[in-house]
């Protein structure tokens, strides 16, 4: 049986075969002029893997494992007289280490802080998003089976299964990154992996202003709204920066408040000391044991929260969220997918009706009017920048229709020579309906000043 059975003079466990490769296990040596073709690299890889115990390798530190693999690669390549440069040996050792204890070719992309999304479409078709733009990378998988192996490792680490009988899975990596995997026959050409990376760096309003996501006066308005416990919805399309903005807005919350977050995949990075994080649970292999957002939201109401933050409303839990906002949990915030503020209201109506079939539309709109103070619309624009494009308050019901008051609107003007969008924010001079709330916190004057500065 293969074992990491021996330790060197430094006390570090070593791979068998590092000091000597048994000659009888090798074929006759090839001529010294042999070049390293893809087939020979594959042969070398398989020979190295036969020499080691993968289960024992998991216990080694990554740097130690990679160093010992590099030595083993060198010894076997020398025995076979394969001509490898030191760089080739190091690259193959790194690939082997990543396959054994990491996520294979994905490791280099997961370590790259400039990458926000990773999309594996096929072995030779891997895209990433950097600064809002998609790029084709030179990252390669060996074949479809290689993608499948990595996907199954991701699923197994969160207790899920992915194969032809269960061809779709959502998972979360250890660092919080969200993963979606879809297998053939649903994915026609190859297994597909989509990863939304978890940012290691919290972006505050100052950083968002530097990134041109908003101007300083708009940031001040959102900071005031969050501090004054206005109920808000952050609306936008996929990848528009909703969670990033919610994280920034949450930094204005008082540190004396008890906050409960409810998420499908824990992404929020709140800095307050009194935060309870709740995360949904998918069904187990038998299809039971699922805990949905609605279950967690109902339970959160029994936990004496000051604020409830829902990472994303996407179903019947929208009704429970409105109920929470209407029953003393001021300052609650949530995100949802919608292209405009008006679309956000329609989405909420539709989601409420999923769980409340007999509730009249006017009653739902009345609930929205009394519960939600602001809708903040964000958009990933043509230049790749994620911008706040609209800040609207739900003003009143005009008959059965909800009337919005656009407090701030971003107006596109032109594209500059470098392909960046040039535009400006326009502010309404009409007083906000929640001015008394601002006055209660002593920030009505700051609000008026920020509006004037837009």
pLDDT digits (tens, 9 = 90+) for 86-107: 888 888 887 887 778 788 899 9
Which range among 9-23, 45-59, 70-84, 331-345 shows the weakest confidence by mean pLDDT?
9-23
Q: What is the CATH number of domain 205-453?
A: 3.40.50.300
- Closest listed residue to residue 420, CA positions, set 129, 132, 215: 132
* pLDDT at residue 126 is higher than 80: yes
Q: What's the pLDDT at 157?
A: 81
Dihedral angle computed from the Cα positions of residues 40, 43, 44 and 46, in that order, rounded to the nearest 10 degrees: 160
CA 231, CA 12: separation in Å to the nearest integer? Answer: 57
Categorize the per-residue pLDDT at 4 as very low, low, confident or very high, splitting at 50, 70 and 90: very low
CA geometry: angle 39, 44, 45, nearest 5 deg: 95
Tokens of 119: 């999309």
pLDDT digits (tens, 9 = 90+) for 289-303: 889 999 999 999 999
Categorize the per-residue pLDDT at 36 as very low, low, confident or very high, splitting at 50, 70 and 90: low
pLDDT digits (tens, 9 = 90+) for 348-387: 999 999 877 788 888 899 999 999 999 999 999 999 899 9
Give me the architecture of the 106-196 domain, per CATH: 2-Layer Sandwich (3.30)
pLDDT digits (tens, 9 = 90+) for 182-220: 999 999 999 999 999 887 777 899 999 999 999 999 999
pLDDT (average), residues 414-428: 93
Determine whether 442 is exposed, middle or buried from the number of CB atoms within 10 Å of its CB (0-12, 13-18, 19+): exposed
pLDDT digits (tens, 9 = 90+) for 267-294: 888 999 999 999 888 777 677 888 999 9
Q: In what order do the strands lie in the sheet with 133-136?
A: 133-136, 125-130, 115-122, 192-196, 178-182, 168-172
- Closest listed residue to residue 333, CA positions, set 368, 374, 387, 365: 374
Categorize the per-residue pLDDT at 54 as very low, low, confident or very high, splitting at 50, 70 and 90: low
Categorize the per-residue pLDDT at 414 as very low, low, confident or very high, splitting at 50, 70 and 90: very high
* pLDDT at residue 40 is higher than 80: no
Q: What's the pLDDT at 37?
A: 67
Cα 290 to Cα 182, 225, 418: the distances in Å are: 20, 35, 49
Q: What's the pLDDT at 22?
A: 34
CA 31, CA 78: separation in Å to the nearest integer? Answer: 11
- Cβ distance 320 to 302 under 8 Å? no
Task: Give the max Cα distance, the chain.
Answer: 89
- Closest listed residue to residue 259, CA positions, set 222, 223, 311, 208: 311
Burial 8-42 (b: 16+ CB within 10 A, else e): eeeeebbbbbbeebeeeeeeeeeeeeeeeeeebbe
pLDDT (average), residues 137-158: 90
Locate CATH 3.40.50.300 in the chain: 205-453
Q: How far is CA 76 from the centre of its chain?
A: 41
Specify the higher pLDDT residue, 436 or 289.
Answer: 436
Helical H segments across 11-85, by residue range = 38-50, 54-57, 62-80
* DSSP string covering 314-364: -STHHHHHHHHHTTT-TT-EEEEE-SSHHHHHHHHHHHHHHH-TT--HHHH
Categorize the per-residue pLDDT at 434 as very low, low, confident or very high, splitting at 50, 70 and 90: very high
Query: Which residues on neighbouring strands pair with residue 170, listed in sequence order?
Result: 180
pTM, two decimals, is 0.78
Specify the higher pLDDT residue, 31 or 257.
Answer: 257
Cα 78 to Cα 18, 23, 45, 103: the distances in Å are: 12, 12, 14, 28
pLDDT digits (tens, 9 = 90+) for 57-82: 666 777 777 788 888 888 888 888 88
Q: What's the pLDDT at 128?
A: 96
Q: What's the pLDDT at 12?
A: 44
Locate CATH 3.30.450.370 in the chain: 106-196
């Amino acid at each position: 049986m293969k074992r990491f059975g021996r330790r060197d003079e430094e006390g570090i466990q070593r791979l068998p075969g590092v000091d000597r490769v048994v000659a009888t296990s090798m074929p006759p040596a090839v001529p010294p002029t042999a070049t390293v073709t893809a087939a020979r690299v594959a042969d070398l890889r398989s020979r190295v893997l036969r020499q080691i115990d993968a289960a024992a390798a998991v216990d080694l530190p990554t740097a130690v494992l990679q160093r010992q693999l590099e030595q083993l690669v060198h010894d076997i390549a020398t025995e076979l007289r394969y001509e490898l440069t030191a760089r080739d040996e190091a690259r193959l050792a790194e690939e082997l280490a990543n396959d054994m204890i990491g996520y294979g070719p994905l490791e280099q992309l997961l370590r790259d802080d400039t990458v926000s999304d990773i999309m594996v479409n096929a072995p030779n078709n891997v895209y990433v998003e950097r600064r809002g733009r998609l790029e084709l990378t030179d990252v390669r998988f060996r074949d479809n089976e290689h993608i499948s192996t990595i996907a199954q490792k991701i699923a197994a680490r969160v207790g899920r299964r992915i194969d032809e009988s269960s061809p779709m899975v959502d998972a979360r990596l250890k660092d919080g990154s969200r993963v979606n995997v879809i297998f053939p026959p649903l994915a026609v050409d190859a297994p597909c992996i989509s990863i939304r990376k978890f940012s290691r760096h919290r972006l505050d309003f100052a950083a968002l202003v530097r990134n041109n996501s908003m101007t300083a006066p708009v940031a001040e308005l959102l900071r005031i709204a969050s501090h004054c416990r206005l109920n808000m919805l952050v609306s936008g399309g996929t990848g528009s920066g909703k969670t990033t903005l919610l994280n920034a807005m949450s930094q204005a919350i008082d540190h004396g408040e008890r906050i409960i977050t409810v998420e499908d995949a824990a992404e929020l990075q709140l800095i307050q000391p009194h935060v309870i994080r709740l995360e949904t649970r998918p069904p187990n292999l038998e299809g039971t044991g699922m805990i949905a957002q609605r279950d967690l939201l109902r339970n959160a109401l029994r936990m004496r929260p000051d604020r409830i933050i829902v990472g994303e409303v996407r179903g019947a839990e929208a009704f429970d969220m409105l109920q929470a906002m209407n029953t003393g949990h001021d300052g609650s915030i949530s995100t949802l997918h919608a292209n405009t503020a008006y679309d956000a209201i329609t989405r909420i109506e539709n989601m409420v009706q999923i769980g409340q079939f007999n509730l009249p539309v006017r009653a739902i709109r009345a609930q929205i009017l009394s519960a939600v103070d602001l809708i903040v619309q964000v958009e990933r624009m043509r230049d790749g920048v994620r911008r706040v494009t609209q800040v609207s308050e739900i003003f009143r019901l005009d008959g059965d229709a909800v009337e919005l008051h656009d407090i701030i609107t971003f107006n596109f003007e032109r594209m500059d020579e470098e392909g960046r969008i040039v535009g400006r924010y326009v502010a309404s001079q009409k007083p906000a309906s929640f001015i008394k709330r601002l006055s209660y916190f002593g920030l009505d004057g700051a609000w008026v000043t920020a509006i004037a500065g837009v």
